[in-house]
């Protein structure tokens, strides 16, 4: 970790993109899950 290289910037960008995609996927999964739950409740009513 002693030699800080410009490559760290690329790593930072990659981490940010990964985090953004992960956050997006979580949001999509949550909306899909809640939608499925609502549909199930409507069917069961």
Q: Which two tokens stand for residue 31?
A: 């909306």
**For residue range 9-34, what is the model confidence (pLDDT) as tens digits?**
889 999 999 999 999 999 999 999 99
**Alpha-carbon span 12 to 5, nearest angstrom:** 12
Instruction: Quote the pTM value.
Output: 0.56
pLDDT for the residue 2:
59
**Alpha-carbon span 24 to 32, nearest angstrom:** 12
pLDDT at 3 > cutoff 70: no
Query: Which is higher by pLDDT, 6 or 11?
Result: 11
Q: Taking the mean position of all CA atoms in its chain, how far away is CA 24?
A: 4
pLDDT for the residue 45:
81
């Amino acid at each position: 970790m002693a030699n800080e290289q410009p490559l760290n910037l690329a790593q930072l960008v990659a981490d940010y993109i990964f985090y953004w995609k992960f956050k997006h996927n979580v949001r999509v999964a949550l909306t899909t899950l809640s939608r499925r739950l609502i549909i199930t409740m409507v069917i069961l009513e």
